[in-house]
Structure 1
């Protein structure tokens, strides 16, 4: 069943309905659902859909030729002499009826034959832009699509009429995969699987989360058991170093020097590998909210929840879990999920605030929003704020604390939070939000109502569109 992507489908349909030449660059990390989106769009359209493969140029040209010929004439009569001839054939066959041509995994072709970008550019400039053609180039290599297809040095630069990086689902969209689960269970699934559609589809909400972990992550032969390793092998030449970086970050190392020390590699080499993971949208560089990207306080975190889960629980415990057995290992993992969910819950709360900001339901539209950490001059110690948002002039701030645990948010914690928030006493307008998985004590509710502090319970997270 196809879930979500209403806006993305709307864009594709709008471009298709234009009746003039359109060229969309669609890209995004592997498994995010690009091909599924294109298949869903193609169900209602007369589309030429070619999915390139990791093989030599002549074989891809042969397959592409066959796809074109079958579409236009119903039979195949051999490969075109070259790509220019193939693209000319598309031009010759296009009349009044709209022709939609999708080339999925375009980097497989362009890496083998870099000249195809110039050939395609020539076809667009000289012929296609005057025809009723809708071209979609799709790829999973984000850096390739951004630099080699859309970059200023690419022959195709400036030809695209639209571009779309397909993103992972947020926590609300991900929850649509699990209508039978409680709110807490939906959030746990998001914490384990992230917003990648095919990962979410692997879980069955008629079984417990523990059973899903056992059957769909730990069991030999299950899709998710080797997914992280398979994806790294598909994309990278030295998975062992990337594995070490993931493990280091997942187990607490966050600064570049800490990661380098933990994996026994030079910082410069480590930085290069992390940059690759950033381009794959698997790792993020994070600076304290309100500070410049060049801040020396910058840290790195795993941005994909499934990778975070896998390296946090499974990578270094693989042999132990095999001895323990899938059932007991799944139970042990489940018992430690609450602690693991702390940072995930902060991210969920940030997504909630982002949705409210788009709906203009916050006191202001944040210019920057994220975690904050640094020295507290009042206590002479390091302090941190779970979420801190500033307006564009830094005259207003939203200060938040997020608690994911099985007890009520108490009055002592409430007072500690307000004391920490005094770090920003110089900000003219301050607004306070508290998020709690298990709710709030009556004392906290009374104080919050009197002092204008917004309390957000778990069910509130799903009361936004």
Structure 2
């Protein structure tokens, strides 16, 4: 088990909860994050019962459930339940020697065939039914994030019944580097820009094939990602197909492609797809609900926001693979395609991903000394420059709090394709002047420059003499505060 101490501790607490009544827990998260691994380990460690559902009919699901439950209890004859009413009632009677873990994995598959199942479980958890139940610790697990989130929302039958609501996340960029065993920060960053922090991509999807260093990275992309004989090759497509909430796959793929191409606002996305902006409200909301995109408010303009792809592999698929799918499907063409698309990879994949991990570092890893205060909010933003009739984009805006008042601690620029120099510093100084005029910044607002390829010597000398300038390279992003 790797870097799941919090999740394991919460599951163990739930399993050991000393109460004579049955209790409910919900476990969710994107596919390939290790939910089943965690729950199987919990069931094994506690002698619990785990049933993994499949996409089938109600009658077949009941048969499979009855077989699995009888086998777990050592019954000589399989149970044959006529309905989930009798199946769940029997399930609630198996904790004969104290609290017992019961896991139903892929729960959305069961509900798809039996929509009344949440109501049946709710009835068994109601106070009126608890007198006949035993201390079952029932865990419902699923990867359909939108569906699992709705189990406990609003007027849903299970609302207010759960004692655990655990979301198993992807590893962040630092955790992913440790999990992949990549010590070189540049290689770790480039790898993370493609596969993100999904644990399954490290072993099940690449059989342990990792880039040995910067010199092996291009070869690794060709042999492990763009290779039509490897599972990662089609994963970007399958991720959408596996989401039950996404009914029009073509439309959702088109929206993701538009965002990956740099169209961040709803109007820009609509223009790219030649649709009305209002037509995209629903697909954008669904993509956000299932965790494939984020919707982030501009740091300085409340009426402006941007959509970004949340899963790096989806962004890589739509920026690099989808436009070249015909060539990539033909064995032996991957190396040629990769040489051709590397400039696109640097601009549309590495650049936005570097900005993203810089914001993550500023929010979660930078200490109070870095920005002269504790970061409370980090975002990107735009600032109008009336004198030049232009708009400046800010990659990182770091906010803290002075009592009840929010203050701008720092503004930053992130560059992944070139060394950062004095020109970038002067641009930040100009933006700070504009924010000073608007009363948003102060003289103490620091200037942060993030560089994946390092910094010029004149900028290093300037920063050494001015504490208000912070330089953050890959070594600091991956190892320091």
Normalising by structure 2, what TM-score? 0.88
- What is residue 432 of structure 2 aligned with on the other side? 421
Deviation at 1:320, TM superposition (A): 4.2
* Residues in 2 aligned to 1:49 and 1:361: alpha-carbon distance in whole angstroms: 48
RMSD: 2.4
Question: Where does residue 443 of structure 1 map in the other structure?
Answer: 458
Shift of the 44–327 alpha-carbon distance from structure 1 to 2, 3 Å rule, reads: same
Mapped partners of 1:45, 1:64: distance in 2: 20
Query: Aligned pair in 2 of structure 1 residues 84, 71: CA closer, same or farther (>3 Å)?
Result: same
Following TM superposition, by how much is the alpha carbon of 1:336 offset from its aligned partner in structure 2, in angstroms? 4.7
- Where in structure 2 are there 5+ consecutive unaligned residues? none
Contact 2:449 2:472 in 1 (8 A): yes
Q: Is the 8 A contact 1:33 1:198 kept in 2?
A: yes
Task: Give the equivalent residue in structure 1 for 2:104.
Answer: 103
Q: Is the 8 A contact 1:370 1:388 kept in 2?
A: yes
The answer for the alignment partner of 2:478 in structure 1 is 462
1:327–1:74 distance in 2 versus 1, CA, 3 Å: farther
Question: Residue by residue, what CA displacement relative to the aligned partner does 1:319-345 show, whole Å, maximum 9, x if unpaired?
Answer: 344578122223444465333311101
Is 1:281 equivalent to 2:281 in the alignment?
no
Quickly say closer, same or farther: Cα 1:62–1:51, change in 2 above 3 A: same
Superimposed CA distance per residue, residues 259-286 of structure 1 (whole angstroms, 9 cap, x where no aligned partner): 2222233333222112111111111222
Q: How many residues align?
A: 459
Alignment-derived partner of residue 261 in structure 2: 251
Q: How does 1:293-332 map to 2 (within 5 A)?
A: 295=303, 297-321=304-328, 325-332=333-340
C-alpha change, 1:75 and 1:327, in structure 2 (3 Å) is: farther
Kept in 2: contact 1:355–1:464 (CA 8 A): no
Aligned pair partner of 1:341 in 333, 338, 350 = 350
**Structure 1 Cα separation of the partners of residues 264 and 435 of structure 2:** 25
Counterpart Cα distance in 2 of 1:140 and 1:180: 28
Partner SS state of residue 391, structure 1: strand
| Selected match of 1:260 from 255, 270, 276 | 270
Q: Helix, strand or coil for the counterpart of 1:157?
A: coil
The equivalent of 1:398 in structure 2 is 410
Q: C-alpha distance in 2, partners of 1:356/1:129?
A: 50
5+ residue gaps, structure 1: none
Quote the offset at 1:290 in angstroms. 4.8
Give 1:135 shift.
Answer: 1.3
- Counterpart mapping for 1:232-251 below 5 A: 232-235=240-243, 236-251=246-261
Say yes or no: does 1:205 pair with 2:220.
no
Distance in 1 between residues matched to 2:411 and 2:72, nearest whole Å: 58
Q: Distance in 2 between matches of 1:38 and 1:321?
A: 37
Distance in 1 (CA, whole Å) between partners of 2:47 and 2:77 is: 18
Q: Name the structure 2 match of 1:363.
A: 372
Aligned equivalents of 1:12 and 1:459: distance in 2? 35
In terms of mean alpha carbon deviation, does 395-404 or 306-315 score higher?
395-404
Greater mean deviation of Cα atoms: 100-109 or 178-187: 178-187
Cα distance in 2, alignment partners of residues 62 and 187 from structure 1: 48
Quote the residue 1:152 is aligned against.
Answer: 154
Who is 2:392 aligned against?
383
Q: Cα offset for 1:387?
A: 0.6
Measured in 1, the distance between the counterparts of 2:38 and 2:480 equals 25
Structure 1 position 91, deviation (Å): 3.0
Partner of 2:162, secondary structure, is: coil
Partner of 1:39 in structure 2? Answer: 40
Instruction: Name the CA distance, whole Å, in 2 between partners of 1:432 and 1:413.
Output: 10
Contact conserved, 2:383 with 2:431, CA < 8 A, in 1?
Answer: no
Asked if 2 retains the 8 angstrom alpha-carbon contact of 1:151 and 1:157, the reply is yes
Give the Å deviation of 1:390.
1.8
SS of residue matched to 2:233 = coil
Q: Deviations for 1:350-383, whole angstroms, at most 9, x for unmatched residues?
A: 1112223689975334343111113123433111
With over 3 angstroms needed to count, the CA separation of the structure-2 counterparts of 1:353 and 1:85, relative to structure 1, is same
Instruction: Tell me the TM-score normalised to structure 1 length.
Output: 0.91
1-structure distance, mates of 2:222, 2:358: 28
SS at match of 1:395: strand
Report the CA distance between 1:109 and its aligned residue.
1.4
In 2, Cα distance between the equivalents of 1:420 and 1:304? 31
